[in-house]
Amino acid sequence: MGKGMRAGKKPKNKPSGGDMQKQLRQLQQMQAEMEQTQAELAEREITTTAGGGAIEVTVNGNKEITKLVIDKDVVDPDDVEMLQDLVMAAVNEAMRQVEELVESEMNKITGGFGGMGIPGL
C-alpha cells in the first residue's frame, strides 16, 4: 500500500452515479448538436478561385464539388498541365477552407474534445 493509504479507504475522485448520468446527458446533447451542425454545414458552400479567377470551384460542407467554372481563355490544348494545376489549386484551397470551417463549427460544440477518443465525435 502506498504512503497514507489505509485498507478499505475509497478513492475520493470517483464520480457518483448521478454525475455519470449528467455526463451521459451532456454527451447525448453534444451529439445531437453535432448532427444538426453537420446537416447545416452540408448546405454551406465555399467558393475559391485560381489563376486570377480563371478557375472557380465551389465545394459544400460535405466536401463535394458543386460547381466548377473554367474560363475559356485558360483552355489551351498546348498547355493542359497549366489547366490541371489551376483546377487542383482551386479545389485544394476550397477543400482546405471547408475543412477549416467544419473544424471550427465542431469545436464550438465540443470545446476541442473531438479528437480525444470520445466515441461518435
**Domains of the chain, residue spans:** 18-114
Q: Which three cell numbers stand for residue 101?
A: 470551417
| Cross-sheet strand order for the sheet of 45-50 | 45-50, 55-60, 65-70
Burial of 86 (0-12, 13-18, 19+ CB in 10 A): buried
Report how far residue 48's alpha carbon sits from residue 17's, in angstroms, rounded to the nearest whole number.
51
What pLDDT tens digit does each residue of the chain (121 aa) get?
Answer: 556 556 666 556 655 667 888 888 888 888 888 889 888 888 999 999 999 999 999 999 999 999 999 999 999 999 999 999 999 999 999 999 999 998 998 888 888 665 544 554 4
Measure the CA–CA gap between 25 and 46, rounded to whole angstroms: 34
DSSP H or E segment with residue 36: helix 17-43
Whether residue 103 contacts residue 89, with contact meaning beta carbons closer than 8 Å, is answered with: no
> Which fold is adopted by the domain 18-114?
Ybab; Chain: A; (3.30.1310)
The residue count of the chain comes to: 121
Gap between the Cα atoms of 61 and 37, Å rounded: 10
Q: Rg of the chain's alpha carbons, rounded to an integer?
A: 24
Model pTM greater than 0.75? no
Q: Is residue 118 classed as helix, strand or coil in its secondary structure?
A: coil
